Amino acid sequence: MAEAANHDSHHAPHADGPSRAKVLLREPLVLNNRSFSWVTNRVAGIVENPQPWGWWWIVVPCALLAGFMAFCFTYLVSTGVGVWGPNHPVAWGWDITNFVFWIGIGHAGTLISAILYLTRQKWRTAVNRAAEAMTIFAVMCAGLFPALHVGRVWMAWFLAPVPNSNQIWQNFKSPLLWDVFAVSTYFSVSVVFWFLGLVPDLATLRDRCKPGIRKMAYGLFALGWRGGNRQWRHYEVAYMLLAGLSTPLVLSVHTVVSFDFATSIVPGWHTTIFPPYFVAGAIFGGFAMVLTLMIPVRKIYGLQDLFTMKHIDNMAKIILLTGTIVGYAYLMELFIAWYSGSLFEFDAFKWRILYGPYTWAYYCMFFCNVIAPQAFWWKKCRENLFIVMVVCMFVNAGMWYERFVIIVTTLARDFLPGAWDMYHPSWVEIWTFIGTFGMFLMLFLIFLRFLPVIAIAEIKGVLPEADPHYDPSMVKRDNVVAPPAYEGDPHEVSGQPATVTIPGAATV
């Protein structure tokens, strides 16, 4: 009985009388009835026009910070890991904290691209490009730390299972090695996925350029895209397959990162809920970072009609959901630490929460990750961009504190009281971490400068005109009800011209 449930398709509908049901329309994903050409002009215009002065004001200091980070790494490699703060028993300090922090942020992009694509969430089109770029830059920042914390960086190639004359093989039983495989695979697939999505837009930029180096570069990476029917068919199949392949990767990376801790028998680390809790936390932190970047970007580049309050609302709700899941995990850990009757496990939590030297970090974490996002229960808060930004900042900080709490508070109070010690980061560690922010922002700003921040081709696909069955008269039916409007962003109601004038743009 092939496609049996389609049995109804051959019959005329009932004509017993009108239904009582109304039709509740969905919020438009692009506001002010923008046309295809407006979308192209607006997004491509960001790349084609000079950047605002603010761009230079941010990118130059970021580049300097990234440069100083490179100096810190050089100093580390030339002197030894002793220039960092780790000691006995805190053998992992800011290095692994920062690694897990950045790798967590690197989850939102592929989640938005892959999982939201597979679940047909059309609103993803406005944010996926920037989120994917952010993912790649965050994973690059993350990768620096484990590579450099090994001490003898010139031996880092030993992490790869390549035959060598010493017949030394990696410890395949170690989750730290799985991390290498998981993160590198994730990075590779994320880059390919991001690039594949860029191809049609690169062709658009190529076609709009005057002949020259720029046109040649865009043309080179556009891979001869002409936008023909066959190309689109192949492209969409490839995109869906990559989305399907990326989904388990998104989940696997932070699962493996959680295994770094949970496979051990260290109290506070060994807990079975770690894998889903880490994944939820990564999505949580990633979404907060996407909003942190995109709220200013939409304002500066006039993208309010494409990246609307509806998008912010959805993302705020995801932050609320994942933050609450993280809260569930914190409390479940705590409950089972007590319920287990295990002295060591419960003591680890007592040190964290009641009387350890790092209780302040636990409360910072709990407030930032669990309490602060609860503001998003209220629509007023989700509509107020200042509050959204403040909450996202809390989440960004909170997710760093979470990793710090897990790593440092646990190690600082291990089994032998005689071995207890405090951990203090050195100036090298602090500036390295600050430097990664510089590198991250610098790369993101360079991305804004040269590549379309919103997926032009994809966002056109969610315009009403893109639907072959689109019926403008539909909204005039008696039983059609409009969705409730969003408040709080006056830019949405005012129309924006198709020509791009970026406020404060440089004239050079």
Partner 1 sequence: MSHHVAVNHLPPEGEKLQITKFLTWRIVLLLVGIAGAAASGFIFLEGGEQANSYAFSYLFALEVFFTITTGAVFWVLLHNASNSSWGVAIRRIPEVMTQLYLPLFVLALPIFAPYPLGSLKKPEWTQRMYEWIGIHAQIASNPPSGAENLRDGLALSHGTSLLYKKYPYLHNGFDLHGGLLPGWDLRVIIFFGLLFFIGRRMLNLSLEQDRTGAVGPTFRARFHACWMLPVFAVCSTFASIDWIMSLNYTWFSTMFGVNVFAGGALASMAVIILVVGTLVKTGHFRHIVSAEHFHLMGKLMHSFVIFWAYIAFSQFFLIWYANIPEETQFYAIRNTGGWWHFSLALVFAHFAIPFVFLLKRDAKRNLNAVMAASLFVVVVHMMELYWMIIPERGRSLYNFSSAPDNATFMRDVLFDGLAFLTFLGIYGFFLIRGLAKHSIYPCGDPRLEESVNVVS
Interface residue list for partner 1 (CB under 8 A): 1-9, 11, 13-24, 26, 251, 255, 259, 262-265, 270-276, 324, 328-329, 332-333, 336, 339-342, 377, 469, 477, 479, 481, 484
The least distance separating partner 1 from the CB of residue 243, rounded to whole angstroms, comes to 13
Q: Which is nearer to partner 1, 21 or 168 (CB)?
A: 21
Residue 320 Cβ, how far from partner 1 at the closest point, in Å?
9
Q: Which is nearer to partner 1, 34 or 254 (CB)?
A: 254
Question: From the CA atom positions of the chain, what is the Rg in Å?
Answer: 25
DSSP sequence for 218-278: HHHHTTT----HHHHHHHHHHHHHHHHHHHHHHHHHHHHHHHHHHTS--TTT--TTHHHHH
Least gap, CB of 339 to partner 1 (angstroms): 6
Query: What are the angstrom distances between the C-alpha of 7 and each of 3, 4, 11, 110?
Result: 8, 6, 8, 38
Q: What's the token pair of residue 227?
A: 């936008």
Strands 23-24 and 480-481 come out as parallel
Residue (484 or 490) nearer to partner 1, CB: 484
State the amino acid at position 349 in one-letter form. Answer: F
Phi-psi region of 223 (alpha: psi -120 to 50; beta: other; left: phi over 0): left
ω before 89 within 30° of 0 (cis)?
Answer: yes
Q: How far is the CB of 250 from partner 1 (least distance, A)?
A: 12
**53, 508 Cβ separation under 8 angstroms:** no
Minimum CB separation of residue 344 from partner 1 in Å reads: 10
Smaller CB separation from partner 1, 483 or 497:
483
Torsion of CA 350, 351, 352, 354, to 10 degrees: 60
Least distance (Å) between residue 317 CB and partner 1 = 8
Q: Is 434 exposed, middle or buried (0-12, 13-18, 19+ CB in 10 A)?
A: middle
* Shortest Cβ 182–partner 1 spacing (Å): 14
Q: Which is closer to partner 1, CB of 113 or CB of 247?
A: 247
Tokens representing 407 are 């790593």
**Length, in residues, of the chain:** 508
Give the up-direction half-sphere exposure of residue 276: CA atoms within 13 A in the CB hemisphere.
Answer: 11
Closest approach, Cβ 278 to partner 1, in A, equals 10
User: CB 348 → partner 1: shortest distance, Å?
Assistant: 13
How far is 311 from 27, CA to CA, in rounded Å? Answer: 10
Measured from the CB atom, the residue of 3 and 228 that comes closer to partner 1 is 3
Q: Is the CB of 247 or the CB of 436 nearer to partner 1?
A: 247
- Cα→Cα distances 47→44, 54, 78, 446, 454, Å: 5, 15, 40, 10, 11
Residue 277 beta carbon to partner 1: minimum distance, rounded to whole angstroms:
8
Q: Which is nearer to partner 1, 263 or 396 (CB)?
A: 263
Nearer CB in complex with partner 1: 184/263: 263
What element of type H or E holds 21?
A: none
Q: Which is nearer to partner 1, 144 or 337 (CB)?
A: 337
Which is closer to partner 1, CB of 138 or CB of 391? 391
> Minimal distance in Å, beta carbon 340 to partner 1?
4
User: What residues have CB less than 8 Å from 134, skipping those under 6 apart?
Assistant: 105, 106, 108, 109, 286, 289, 290, 293, 444
Is the separation of the CB atoms in 283 and 274 below 8 Å? Answer: no
Element (H, E) at 84: none
